[in-house]
Amino acid sequence: MAGEPVNPVGTGGPVAGPLPGEVLTLAQFDLKGLQLKDTFTVLLPIRWMEPDSEMAFTLSAVELPGVFSLPVPPAVRWTDRTMTITRITWSPISVYIDAQIEVDPGVPESVCHEILWRWTLEAQLDDAYFAELKGLVSGDFI
């Protein structure tokens, strides 16, 4: 089966399922930039089985249940940097936000590192903005 390999992104891992002995695994893949047909096939290798196996299923690229692209807010300018949100995707799993932070020339490297780490480790949606995002989507998973 021909296709484009895509590596997982973000966090993932197994959790106990509702049935005895059941394990559910979350894996996230960024499909941005891929040219998908209206439907596409996902082929996941399963390496713990003897012999190795694969699981395949087909999804619609046109209508993914519970997945919404949301409008982005305008860029925000601070004294020494600008932050632009380039994409917001709401899904039953998570809210995905792609952002670009551009730091002005001359800002010390130590400040750049602090900006990166604070954004990476401490960023979160405030309650008002989260409520606004929830108002843009519908579904019983909210």
Note the pLDDT tens digit of each residue in 70-120. Answer: 888 889 898 999 989 898 888 777 777 888 889 999 999 999 988 888 877
Where residue 134 falls among pLDDT bands split at 50, 70, 90?
low
The reported pLDDT for the residue numbered 14 is 77
The reported pLDDT for the residue numbered 129 is 65
The continuous run of DSSP H or E covering 136 comes out as helix 127-136
Q: Please report the DSSP string for 8-69 in residue order.
A: B-S--EEEE-SSTT-EEEE--B--TT----SEEEEEEEE-SSSS-EEEEEEEESS--TT-EE
Note the pLDDT tens digit of each residue in 28-75. Answer: 777 777 777 788 888 877 776 677 777 788 877 777 777 888 888 889
Beta bridge partners of 57: 42
The reported pLDDT for the residue numbered 121 is 78
On the question of pLDDT at 141 being above 50, the answer is no
Distance of CA 77 to the CA centre of its chain: 25
Domain ranges for the chain, please list them: 13-60, 68-136
